[in-house]
Homo-oligomer: A and B are copies of this chain.
Amino acid sequence: MSLQTVKSYVIGLDLGGTNSVFGIVDSRGEIKATTAIKTRGFKNVNDYVKASVDALQPILDSVGGLSLIKAMGIGAPNGNYYKGTIEFAPNLEWAHDGIVPLANLFSQALGGLPVALTNDANAAALGEMTYGVARGMKNFIDITLGTGVGSGIVINGQMVYGCDGFAGELGHVTMVRGKEGRVCGCGRKGCLEAYCSATGVARTACEFLEKSDEDSLLRAINPENITSLEVSLAAAKGDKLAKSVYEFTGNMLGEACADFAAFCSPEAFVFFGGLTKAGDLLMRPLKRSYDEHVLKIFKGKAKFLVSNLDGSSAAVLGASAVGWEI
């Protein structure tokens, strides 16, 4: 046995637009202690880091202090892995108009602790690889189906960050070309995210309701208030129009995955996020469409998996996985 202190834990920070959740995590993915602060309300990033470290202190003490911590991993919107920065993040008041060296600031505030940072979708993929259904896989694509569509790609056992640290934006491949494409939050048209996110599902439902006179449980709801959850609840009750919304969504996701297979022939596609709660409503048309559209040599090779990580802790686990990778 070495006389060195065993570095048993990492800190994971799931940095969201509203809340910042910290967890101290061991190598098996057990969260030993957790705390949180609001992300908002700080006039600059230094105040945010100071408040974070103040909140961290008691949970660090509870596991035996900073000396047992190997590293810190951060999952954050617009996170640049190579530089450890958050760049022009529209939802973060202290990082919306510039480049914030968040990894460095945390490292300085935590006595030189190694700190790495990546975007939330990449953190989710690392979480699946370290603790989840992608454990042991060298080639897979993690797709987060939430308010938007995020993705993290692992090839040859490594995260794909690209030349600039921002690779893996599969929510923004173009599925409907030309003018008919739906406007996407990114300012372009026809992106996968505009159709296959939770908001995309709600938009599809509104479109389908408008285009047809078909009876539907969804007609009882003000179109502006329709959510993907209500569509899946209606579908579960046998509502035909609601079912066709998920058919449409799964079909498009399957076509997209067929293109992704041509790129990197993954061992699995792992799905995570709110939309996966629709279960077979989404997964059945997704797999059927994939089989229909994928190039023959790839047929039947990729698994389609749904994340088994607990939704509330998955983001912190993902962030902590970034720390283990250092």
Residue positions of A touching B, CB distance < 8 A: 138-139, 153, 155-156, 158, 160-164, 166-170, 172-177, 186-188, 255, 258-260, 262-267, 293, 295-298, 301-302
Minimum Cβ distance to chain B for residue A82 (Å): 11
Kindly state the separation between the CA atoms of A162 and B297 in the bound complex, as whole angstroms: 12
Kindly state the separation between the CA atoms of A163 and B160 in the bound complex, as whole angstroms: 15
- Given A173-B259, A177-B255, A263-B173: A297 in contact with B153 (beta carbons within 8 A): no
Which residue on chain B has the smallest CB distance to residue A303? B163
- Given A156-B158, A177-B255, A188-B293: A170 in contact with B139 (beta carbons within 8 A): no
Top 3 A-B residue pairs of the complex, sorted by shortest distance between their CB atoms: A162-B265, A167-B265, A163-B267
- Given A155-B156, A267-B163: A172 in contact with B301 (beta carbons within 8 A): no
Which residue on chain B has the smallest CB distance to residue A78? B297
Tallying the copies of this chain within the complex gives 2
Q: Is the CB of B163 within 8 A of A301?
A: yes
Minimum Cβ distance to chain B for residue A296 (Å): 7
Q: Is the CB of B295 within 8 A of A162?
A: no
Q: Is the CB of A188 within 8 A of B295?
A: yes
Most buried by B among A168, A169, A170, A176: A169
Q: Within the complex, which residue of B156, B162, B259, B260 is in contact with A139, where a contact is CB–CB below 8 Å?
A: B162
Q: Is the CB of B264 within 8 A of A167?
A: yes
Contacts of A296 in B (CB 8 A): 186-187
What are 28 A-B interface contacts by the 8 Å CB criterion? A138-B163, A139-B162, A139-B163, A139-B167, A155-B155, A155-B156, A155-B160, A155-B162, A156-B156, A160-B263, A163-B301, A164-B265, A164-B298, A166-B265, A166-B298, A167-B263, A167-B265, A168-B263, A168-B264, A169-B262, A170-B262, A172-B262, A173-B263, A174-B259, A174-B293, A177-B255, A260-B263, A263-B264
Q: Within the complex, which residue of B156, B166, B258 is in contact with A174, where a contact is CB–CB below 8 Å?
A: B258
Kindly state the separation between the CA atoms of A298 and B169 in the bound complex, as whole angstroms: 10
Beyond the given A167-B263, A169-B263, A188-B293, please list 9 additional residue pairs across the A-B interface where CB-CB is below 8 A: A138-B163, A153-B264, A155-B155, A164-B265, A164-B298, A169-B295, A170-B262, A174-B255, A174-B258
